[in-house]
Structure 1
Amino acid sequence: MEATLRFELRLDTVNKNGEHPLIFIIRIAGQRRKVSTGITLIPELWDNQHQQIVSLTTKLKIQLGKKYGENLPTKHQLIQYQDQISALMSDARAVESRFIFEKTPYSADMIAEEIKLQQKQATKKEDPSNIVYDFIDQYIEEHKHIREKGSLTVYKSLKKHLTNYQNHSRSKVRFDQIDYNFLQAFQGFLISWEETNEKTKRVSSLNNTTISKQLRTLKTFLSYAKKKGISVNPGHKDFSIKEYKMEVIALTQAELDLLLGLELNSNKRLDQVRDVFCFSCVTGFRYSDLEQLHRGHIKNDEIRLTVKKTKKPLIVPLNRFSKGILEKYEELAAPLPIISNQKFNKYIKELCKLAGIDDPVEIIRYKGATKQSTIYRKHEVISAHTGRKTFATLSLEKGIPAETVMKITGHADYKSFQRYVKVTEERKRNEMQKAWGAPV
């Protein structure tokens, strides 16, 4: 008699995330045996009638996200779960077929024991500590309380791309296999990778700058894993990652003066956005540090705080512009009228457009060997971080030594700061030629 195979969600058992274990049930001639799948699911994602995982559409994701938040599995995780379910069903039928071929009388117990033996052998064969994306989970968990949430995003992106690559190559990504050839293949995969947004139908892909960041993150992660005692393939050191120059979007002195002198008495919203942005332009603070700024940080005409990103103390002297902006809001409980970063980035573009900051700016990216050039109006590419870049470039142009500017901005690495020096030199050349004509 052929076995009846089904999957059931155990509604009598639930974990802290609201998930229930999915069990595999084998029935033969009245005998019933359960086998663990290792999968836990929220009830809304299991279709018992069709014996499959529910497709996570954008609408369903929004609906379930309100209830389960960050505990909601990703679409890729659900695809992996469905593959596991299909494989388990296939394995059980293969065991049953072998019994039939060998003319061996069999029971639900015998099939279950064979499945468990296969699971045990697979687990023994695969050392969990050697699976890269499993170790990424461990890294994120260990560092979530000591690092900013945003700084861990790059590791989550890396895990996503490694998981996609695994599905593509049909082999798990292991530390001992990441050599020159692997990185070359992974780079090629990232260049060709595309994803379609189900809601907007827009296709997104990765440019070479983003790909380089992913590869650098992976190599850094390999070094960290080695320090933790993981056996890492040394072949990855032979793979060099090409660096791509990023444009430095910063205001000129004339554009900053234009914003400072802009009449906005009738528009309180943009007036406050202008003040916060200009405060960043004359102090070099990141927006994340302006968000945490309180009056206790301000004393004796200087600001002393611990930088949110680096966790290092920073002292920034006030100047007449920054002190004037603080005095304007001295009646507020907070030193500055801070809003959310998302709204600020939207409004700052509106403000700069109103001010007429619209010189053409060319943004160049590469996808593989293909150059992608896009021309924007300058106000379209200005964001909260432009304030910090403006401070660095204008300070250098005013003659402040690079070492001093780095002390104020909190830059510890001259290599990352050097691009501001190059920008100011380019500006000098352009302004000279603009005023006196280019050499023949």
Structure 2
Amino acid sequence: MATVNLCVRPDMKDNNGLLPIYMIFQHRGKRFKHFTGLKIQEQNWDVKKQEVIELNGNTARWNNTLTKQKIQLLNATQQILKEHKDADVQEIKEAFYKDLFKCGSEFFAELATFIEESRQTKKESTVFVYETLIKDLKLFEDADDYLISFHNLNSDFYVQFTGFLEKTLNNTNNTISKKIKALKAFLHYASDKKLMQTADFEGFGTKTIETPKLSLTDAEVERLYTLNLSLNKDLAIIRDIFMFGCVTGLKYSDIIKLKVDDVTEDKLLIINQYTYIKTRIPMNNYARFILKKYMGEKGYCFPFVQNVYANKHLKTLGKMAGIETPIKVSIHKGDKIIEKQKPKYELITTDTARYTYAALSLRAGMRPELLIQVLGQKTINALLEYSYFSSPMNDFEMVDCWNKKFF
């Protein structure tokens, strides 16, 4: 018998201390997890009743949204099992998502189509933003009684929607900016299909606050590299993929797609998906050693691990390796700047590997023009993003060059 339960995920607490609310669906020993789009503080969740409590006037509204999604999932389950009694969990999940976002609206139907088409050409992380956007738009519709259509995406909608993201969903300015950019990408798509009569959406402003890019030191890389993971194969795979990025400078998406045929004469053939620059990267001893663990006769070099899953467990690995240096983090919400200190391991992501390679290469004396080629960048200006965060390297060079003076 199919069951649906609601829970919060303490293991996925965000930078604001909020826990995501998930629906856990189980059927015939299999299950899937659905993020409802809502996040709350732990004290605002009743574990036994599986509902929100004392949420600044939004309690009834959010519980209604959760109940609505739960009913939709159960209805989708009942309907598909009626048509096909042997349907598996994946089929039920697809039926649920199809029902969740159709709602008789041309806008949401087109957005769902846009997301499906994007899976073929966009990065996994980009598609994830699109999926989050469609959930947020539905939550906004339900919460503000705003019926979204291609005809009312104007400045009033923009003000209300961004206000909802900031005040109700507690999004930071950068997160809001990311979602508005995703929305504009879809609206350009819809405009090309002649579904819109206005281009008001061009005025939807986005402002991303540049944040320092995190890199690891030589000592931190060594501790992670030598971490004993013989009893945890999954963590060992994630660690090795991350370390391969640290010693080659490859993006996570390029590493996951790396095929055995792309490795010839101790070199890696990489084609940058944005600049289309073809690069042959010679492998150092570390890269060869890591790759040797996984290389088969054909297919991909490494096991496939989703970026989101890797990001989650990299924090665990960082903690195990004792990467705990306090890092000051500035969070921009509206016109407020909230500063917090976090242990460094909480900030590690798959991107950290590429930044680490750049920082350590510059620190070791690699010429910037050579590093540009390795990273697949077009100009020296593009490299500044990587050198910006490398303050230890900058500090060393600025002091060392003057320490050599004799006056």
2:96 to 59, 72, 75: 72
Q: In structure 2, what residue type is equivalent to 1:228?
A: K
In 2, Cα distance between equivalents of 1:368 and 1:336: 44
Report the counterpart of residue 393 of structure 1 in structure 2. 359
SS of the residue corresponding to residue 177 of structure 1 reads: coil
Distance 1:411 1:384, change over 3 A: same
8 Å CA contact retained: 2:243, 2:353: yes
Equivalent residue number for residue 347 of structure 2? 381
Match of residue 138 from structure 2:
163
Find the counterpart in structure 2 of residue 20 from structure 1: none
Q: Deviation at 1:346? A: 5.5
Q: Is the 8 A contact 2:249 2:353 kept in 1?
A: yes
CA contact (8 A) 1:249 1:386 kept: yes
- Amino acid across the alignment from 1:72: F
Check the 8 A contact 1:276/1:336 in 2, yes or no: no
Partner of residue 285, structure 2: 321
Shift of 1:379: 2.1
Moved more, 145-154 or 211-220: 145-154
Equivalent residue, structure 2, for 1:175: 150
Q: Relative to structure 1, is the Cα distance of residues 189 and 272 closer, same or farther in structure 2, using a 3 angstrom cutoff?
A: closer
Check the 8 A contact 1:212/1:242 in 2, yes or no: yes
Q: 2:331 maps to which residue?
A: 365
**2:267–2:280 contact (8 Å) kept in structure 1:** yes
Equivalent in the alignment of 2:70: 56
Does the alignment pair 1:355 with 2:330?
no
Please state if 1:291 is matched with 2:305: no
1:180–1:237 CA contact under 8 A, matched in 2: no
Shift of 1:155: 2.0
Query: Aligned letter for 2:194?
Result: G
Please state whether the residue corresponding to 1:242 is helix, strand or coil.
coil
Separation in 1, partners of 2:150, 2:379: 29
Shift of 1:306: 5.3
Aligned to 2:178: 213
Q: 1:408 aligns with which of 346, 361, 374?
A: 374
CA gap of 1:331–1:206, structure 2 versus 1, over 3 A, is closer
CA distance in 1, matches of 2:160, 2:209: 20
Letter in 2 for 1:136: L
Alignment partner of 1:300 out of 262, 265, 268: 265
The residue number in structure 1 matching 2:22 is none
Q: Which runs of 5+ in 2 are unaligned?
A: 1-66, 79-87
**Alignment-mate amino acid for residue 251 of structure 1:** L
Mapped to 1, the partners of 2:113 and 2:149 lie a distance apart of: 15
Cα 1:184–1:397, aligned 2, differ >3 Å: closer, same or farther?
farther
Amino acid at match of 1:383: T
Whichever residue aligns with residue 163 of structure 2, its letter is G
**Counterparts in 2 of 1:431 and 1:399: CA distance versus 1, 3 Å:** closer
Counterpart position of 2:160: 185
Aligned equivalent of 2:111? 136
CA separation of 1:311/1:429 partners in 2, compared to 1, >3 Å: closer, same or farther?
closer
- C-alpha distance in structure 1 between counterparts of 2:232 and 2:112, whole Å: 45
Change (3 A) 1:155 1:268: closer
Normalised to the residue count of structure 2, the TM-score between the two structures is 0.63
**Overall identity of the aligned pairs, in %:** 24
Secondary structure, counterpart of 1:352 in structure 2: helix
Is the contact between residue 306 and residue 314 of structure 1 (CA under 8 Å) also seen in structure 2? yes
Residue deviations 1:320-346, cap 9 Å, x none? 234442475377557866463466545
Q: CA deviation at 1:264?
A: 3.9
Q: What is the identity, as a one-letter code, of the residue corresponding to 1:365?
A: I
User: Structure 1 residue 436: deviation in Å?
Assistant: 9.9
Q: Which amino acid in structure 2 is aligned with residue 424 of structure 1? A: S
When residues 223 and 382 of structure 1 are mapped into structure 2, their CA distance, relative to the original with a 3 A threshold, is same
The answer to whether the 8 A contact 1:191-1:206 is kept is yes
Query: Residue 283 of structure 1 contacts residue 322 of structure 1 at CA under 8 Å; is this kept in 2?
Result: no
Q: Is the 8 A contact 2:76 2:99 kept in 1?
A: no
Using the size of structure 1 for normalisation, the TM-score is 0.59
Asked if structure 1 preserves the Cα contact closer than 8 Å seen for 2:171 and 2:333, the reply is: yes
Residue 138 (structure 1) shift: 2.9
More moved, 277-286 vs 53-62: 53-62
Contact 2:268 2:282 in 1 (8 A): yes
- After superposing the two structures, state which structure 1 stretch, 218-227 or 145-154, moved more: 145-154
CA contact (8 A) 1:191 1:368 kept: yes
How far is 1:209 from its partner?
A: 1.4
List runs of 5+ in structure 1 lacking aligned partners. 1-52, 82-127, 195-204
Q: Deviations over 1:180-238 (max 9, x none)?
A: 333122211211223xxxxxxxxxx3222111111122223333333333435333334
